[in-house]
Homo-oligomer: A and B are copies of this chain.
Amino acid sequence: MVILSNMKTVLILGGFGFIGSNIIKYIQNNSNDFEIIVFDKHSRHSHGVRFEGIKKVYVGNFSDTIAVKRIFQENKIDLVIHSISSTVPAKSDDIQFDILTNLIPTVKLLDIIKEFNVKDIVYISSGGAIYGPSDNKHLETDEAFPISSYGVVKLAIEKYLFLFSSQYNLRPLILRPSNIYGLYHYSLDQGIINIALRDAIVGKIFCIWGDGEGEKDYLHVDDFCHILFNLLSKGIHNTVINIGSGDLLSVNEIVRAIKKIIPSFKWRYQKAVLSDVRHVSLDSSRLISYIGEYEFKPFVEGLNEIYNWQKSLK
């Protein structure tokens, strides 16, 4: 007899996006505790990645309240993982669009969650876009000065999550990952490692914004997923947590690392965009206090893994 009492239903918003896809893969490979429901604008992974064992897929626009509400009417959801964003930092110049398609649908989601008495939500915020320009290591308690609307909206969403926590006992777990890279990242707008590798493989010249000297923290998505479920298993909530590997790399170092794999790789420099934070370094002491010391995947190992995956797509 199979006992299912510990089985939880997790709703992954944006389940076929980069982070969502990796979360699904992680659950399938590492956990028997979750039944997965996906809400996404696509009915399947747009690049044909196949996932086994997804219980249901709901297709819709995140702004469509009726579509979002239907999921809760038809299923008992135990946990929501919110990994939808309609914008990326460099493409959030249209602030109104950013607010209307990210902030408003999220507060409507919170109203629905409250109505259906769901208590647990994981929100994928941003360690790269929230803090703003500073050469110091950022603590979660630092005053945030985002230089993109993307960052302001993520911060506002964090604050609404805490507001619902104070008023309705919502239990938000808010994660501020640094620059996540890894498999299943197809974006043309975000994720320098994947974009550069793709350009290198097809022989296109890669464009670097600015001088490429600013250093940022890079985090492998496998580490991110592992840490996310570790925090969930420990019942951590009502907190915002930086997740960075501590591995600071400049874009110049990244392109040189790619050139070692693909010697024909070329790049050029173009004017920096205003919304790009030059330096991202996260203080991880809060994370360590929750999960203890953690061994992150070395960058070169992650890079080769993505290279092999990207080659296999050709």
Are the C-beta atoms of B159 and A144 separated by less than 8 Å? Answer: yes
Are the C-beta atoms of B107 and A166 separated by less than 8 Å? Answer: no
Alpha-carbon gap, A99 to B103, bound state (A): 9
Are the C-beta atoms of B149 and A166 separated by less than 8 Å? Answer: no
Alpha-carbon gap, A132 to B274, bound state (A): 32
Alpha-carbon gap, A104 to B104, bound state (A): 11
Q: Write out the residue numbers on chain B whose beta carbons fall within 8 Å of the beta carbon of A100.
A: 104
Q: Which residue of B132, B143, B152 contacts A156 across the interface (Cβ within 8 Å)? A: B152
Q: Which residue of B133, B140, B163 contacts A149 across the interface (Cβ within 8 Å)? A: B163
Are the C-beta atoms of A147 and B167 separated by less than 8 Å? Answer: yes
In the complex, chain A residues 145-160 whose Cβ is within 8 Å of any chain B Cβ: 145-149, 151-153, 155-156, 159-160
Are the C-beta atoms of A162 and B145 separated by less than 8 Å? Answer: yes
Q: Which residue of B lies closest to A167 (CB)?
A: B274
Are the C-beta atoms of A95 and B152 separated by less than 8 Å? Answer: no
Residue A96 interfacial (CB < 8 Å): yes
Are the C-beta atoms of B133 and A147 separated by less than 8 Å? Answer: no
Alpha-carbon gap, A132 to B238, bound state (A): 15
Q: Given the known A-B contacts A99-B99, A152-B160, A159-B155, are A166 and B104 also in contact in the complex, defined by CB atoms under 8 Å?
A: no
Q: Given the known A-B contacts A152-B163, A163-B146, are A99 and B104 also in contact in the complex, defined by CB atoms under 8 Å?
A: yes
Q: Which residue of B lies closest to A140 (CB)?
A: B143
Are the C-beta atoms of B145 and A152 separated by less than 8 Å? Answer: no
Q: Which residue of B96, B148, B162 contacts A107 across the interface (Cβ within 8 Å)? A: B96
Question: Which residues of chain A have a CB within 8 Å of any CB of chain B?
Answer: 95-96, 99-100, 103-104, 107-108, 111, 132-133, 140-141, 143-149, 151-153, 155-156, 159-160, 162-163, 166-167, 274-275
Besides the known contacts A146-B159, A146-B163, A147-B163, 10 further A-B residue pairs in the complex with CB atoms under 8 A apart: A96-B104, A99-B103, A140-B143, A149-B163, A151-B159, A152-B156, A152-B159, A152-B163, A155-B156, A166-B274
Query: Could you list 6 examples of A-B contacts with CB < 8 Å?
Result: A95-B107, A99-B104, A147-B167, A151-B159, A152-B156, A155-B159
